[in-house]
Structure 1
Amino acid sequence: MLSQIAVFTQTVREHMDPPRVVVAATASCVEVVQCLRETQASAAIIVDAALEPVGILTEQDVTRRIAFQVGPDTPVIQVMSEPVSTVQARDFLHHAVAWMRRDGIRHLPVVDDRRVVGLLELDQVLARLSGQTVAQIDRLSHWANPKTMEEAKRNQERIAAELLADAVPAVDIQQLLSRLDHQIYHDAVDYCLGFMEREGWGSPPVAFEVLVMGSSGRGESSPWSDQDNGLILEDYPDREHYRIDSWFVAFSERLTATLNAVGFEYCHGHVMATNPLWRKTLSQWRAQVSGWIRKSEGLALRLSDILFDFACVYGEGRLSRALREHITQEAARPIFLRELFKVDEEHEVALGPFGIFLTERRHGLNHGKLNLKITGTLPLVGAARILALKHGIPKTGTLERIAALHERGALDHNQQDVLSHAYRHIVQLLLRQQLRDRKAGLTPGSYVSPQALSRREIVQLKANLKAIKEFRANLRADLTGELF
């Protein structure tokens, strides 16, 4: 039985069977039926000379189209089902299952690019899934239209609650939600490209990639993520700027509006592709990043903090890899990292002298509560980012960065273990409280009352916050030479 998380993270390749019967389109019906009988296969994939599928013949086809109806020497191409649907081996399993259930497909040829490499049989896959997991797949399934994307986005909260109730770690839920968000982004882009074609704008004038930043870029999303996105465009001549940029202005407006409609609220800080600051060619991005790093002050540091956790959710990935390489090379400058640390240090850790929690002082609904995002996870996220930049590590996820820093020798085994546990525990408390807030009809936030924690959780939380404070103190000493 597949775990609830595995079905959403594994690919078709991991669950396909080798194609037991693959025959040429010139084969006769009797030859194909004999192969099916000898191998006890339920379907034969019909291919052309390049091994690309052109049709499929299932047991039902044999019964309906061959038995007592055509001669044994009839070419199979005359009775096979065509055109044949296929799925890429690299596609996510849950997407394939949802598609097969929706369209009544029992056998789906698997291709690597265009050549047949396997066969996915719905009955076999469903036998490995629980009824609850199948229901979750149905609720999270979507295609390139706003209605299904909105339904899938809205259902993420329910899925997160079910998984947490089943003792799935919150960090695994975060990673799953990020992948699901990235898939919605991908379908939203496809939808908007179709819109641009229908409205007479035509195809994209140059290659482009869509980026997400912040928690989504780190793979640490919640069910209530807003928009933090941008575009990287292939370089083009300056004389073409008006024509090309006009296309991407219209596309960005349509994309951000679509994302808002399906459940990703507009970013209040305007970190979106509609803002020219976040829509640039690769050369422009490189120049902008280098300028931010050279300046190393004020807004330039805050913008760097936002960008550096980006991930590519649409496109080949070639442009985003080039930008990542540029950031990794440029950002290791000591002065820049020192100033970036000073900005991140504004988020103090929620633990004072003598192990006393530093809670919200302002009167109101959250008075006396801990802000476990601003004074819990963010101090660790920021410190891990800076140390990863210092050591030339391109990873973006917080746990990935901690693991990579351990591999580089920047963290010893105990530090890696303690910091990873700290992140996992605080995220667990945060997600649990956010889902409780939603159940109570409140807006999910990042405040947790110490009274809502068990004694064991309080002890663990204080130890985790202490570890984060020590990590940041060591980083401060390393970057500034200041011990206190």
Structure 2
Amino acid sequence: MFKRSNTVELFTKKVMDFMTDNYILVNRKELIKTSLEKLKELKKSTILIEDNNQICGIITEKDILKRVVFKANEQTSVDQIMTQPVKFVYNDDLLFHAVGKMRKLNLHHLPVFNMNGNVLGMIDMNTALTAELGDTIYQIDKMTYDEEDIMGLIKIKQQQIYLTENMLNRNIDPLDISYLLSFLNNVIYRRAIRLAEKRVGEKKIIKEIPFFSIIVMGSGGRMESFLHPDQDNGIIYEANNEDPKKLDLYFEELAKDFTKTLDDCGIPFCKGNLMASNSLWRKSLPEWKDQVNHFLDNHTPQDMRHIDMLYDFKSVYGKSVLAENLRTHLNEKLHEKKLLKFLYFSEEESDAAIGFFGQFILEKKDKENIGLLNLKHTGTLPMIESIRLYAIKHKITKTSTFERLDELNKLKVLSDDEIDFFKNAQRFMSKILLKNQIERTKQGLTMKNFINPKLLLEREKKVLKIYLKKIKELKKRVRVDIGEEYF
């Protein structure tokens, strides 16, 4: 079983897994005297105050020492002592954000809320956690953000460059780094969507907002992003009693808002318009299923490219069961209609950039990148696509490439040596791509997936050629195993 490094685990742990019940909940008009008696009896340390089922204030041990002892009497109510507004974190926030926020605000406790503003628990700062983090605290401080401030999200995106460089210098697994970058991008996604919900909600387009799920596709869906992925996202929502046109208008406005925020934060608009702002990628669940059926019934090259783009998706916000429902439908229909050969055909032109005589195949058409090697589209991608096709054929529902490889190994589709080889190939190429993106950033250049193979060490060139040759062989094998019906 693949285990991630401790550094990555630190940045991907969720607040919900570290909550405690170290609080009591009281009405705002309750006497402080009564509340303190409850606190002592239940052996808790924090008082949360509610008004109309919403948290409106907090009293911590520090407040008790500073305010209650000197200012309160037997008739003092908790709302005369409480601190407001209440600083909090969401249950699906990452632990590093909670730690950074408490450090930034000099707090020892933060309530944990769900999306409806209901308290679920408390997250406590402790000195042992801070000591354990060591020099990583600097990175946490840099990425702590204000919920209402887009600049905080921009900071998270900018800090990814320094975090990645630091982790590469510490020999952290490049795939761990890609996983972490994907996770941090999901943090930006969630916050951007929450800001969009607030702004679009003020427009009063519809009365009842249905459950929905925001999905990311491609490398983000596999949790394999590099430093500069563009947006590949969609919306799946439940139909309700609202006018369908108004319902779609609400989600169109929501999509336009959060995709603009993502672009401002450094996750650029998709050049191919593979975004929820495009109605093709924004539908109710029944409409999504009808669209999948349409793609598969027609199975034109463009339809299969749409299926190919959609297949690797992950819910990053909202009701994830909607995404899982769509995934089940997609998989069932793919196998029912036996269209895997057409999916292969849509990816046929993607191949490893290695020639018959073992030379790198470099870019010849794109003027900006002539003489360079596209290590993503002619390196990692042909391998990832081939492994995905085998995963679909064998009904493997895992989304990450490593998980798919492990499952294919269990089914004896790929040998132990092949699994080890392709995992190391992905690690090696990912490291080169990440290093190249960091270097271009330092030079003030635009990040991209093209590398200059002349700048590689001789050893790196030899190893890269070995990996590309094997990936090319894998593509040929897929053609026989999956595309044979087409040919």
The alignment's TM-score, normalised by the length of structure 2, stands at 0.84
Deviation, structure 1 residue 177: 1.2
**Which amino acid in 2 is paired with 1:106?**
H
* Matches of 2:441 and 2:414, distance apart in 1: 38
The whole-number CA distance in structure 1 between the counterparts of 2:281 and 2:42 is 57
Q: 1:380 Cα deviation (Å)?
A: 0.8
Counterpart for residue 94 of structure 1: 96
Cα distance between partner residues in 1 of 2:196 and 2:121:
32
1:289 matched to 2:292: yes
Q: How does 1:16-415 map to 2 (within 5 A)?
A: 19=22, 29=36, 44-46=45-47, 58-65=60-67, 81=82, 87=89, 91-108=93-110, 119-131=123-135, 133-142=136-145, 143-201=147-205, 205-236=209-240, 240-332=243-335, 335-361=338-364, 366-415=369-418
Contact 1:153 1:262 in 2 (8 A): yes
Displacement after TM superposition at 1:260 (Å): 2.1
Show the counterpart of 1:470.
473
Give the letter for the 1:385 counterpart. Answer: R
1:28, 1:74 within 8 Å by CA — same for their partners in 2? no
CA offset digits 1:341-376 (Å, max 9, x no partner): 122120121222243322334595644432211110
For 2:479 and 2:336, locate their aligned partners in 1 and report how far apart those are by CA, in whole Å: 15
Aligned residues: 471
> Residues 227 and 437 of structure 2 are in contact (CA less than 8 Å); yes or no, is this contact kept in structure 1?
no
Give the distance between the partners of 1:431 and 1:16, measured in 2 at CA. 35
Residue 45 of structure 2 aligns to a residue whose secondary structure is strand
Return 239-248 or 346-355, whichever deviates more.
Answer: 239-248
Q: For 1:261, give the aligned amino acid.
A: D
Residue 219 of structure 1 aligns with an amino acid whose one-letter code is M
Deviations 1:241-275 (A, max 9, x none): 22222222222222222222222222221111121
**What secondary structure, in the 3-state scheme, does the structure 1 residue paired with 2:7 have?**
coil
The residue identity in structure 1 corresponding to 2:467 is N
Partner of 1:280, secondary structure, is strand
After superposition, give the CA deviation of every residue in 1:38-66 in whole Å (9 maximum; x if it has no partner). Answer: xxxxx724589xxx999876553453345
Distance of 1:249 and 1:75 partners within structure 2: 50
The answer to whether the 8 Å contact 2:216/2:234 transfers is yes
Q: Is the 8 A contact 1:85 1:109 kept in 2?
A: yes
**Aligned partners of 1:362, 1:390: CA distance in 2, in Å?**
34
Which letter maps to 2:65? T
RMSD: 3.5
Instruction: Specify every segment of 5 or more residues in structure 2 that has no aligned partner in the other structure, as ranges.
Output: 27-31
- Rounded Cα–Cα distance in structure 2 between residues aligned with 1:116 and 1:343: 47
Residues 357/318 of structure 1: CA separation in 2 closer, same or farther (3 Å cut)? same
Percent pairwise identity: 32
Moved more, 358-367 or 214-223: 358-367
Any conservation in 2 of the 1:45–1:109 contact (CA below 8 Å)? no
* Displacement of 1:118: 6.2
Give how far 1:16 is off.
6.0
CA contact (8 A) 1:332 1:391 kept: no
Q: Distance in 2 between matches of 1:66 and 1:434?
A: 55
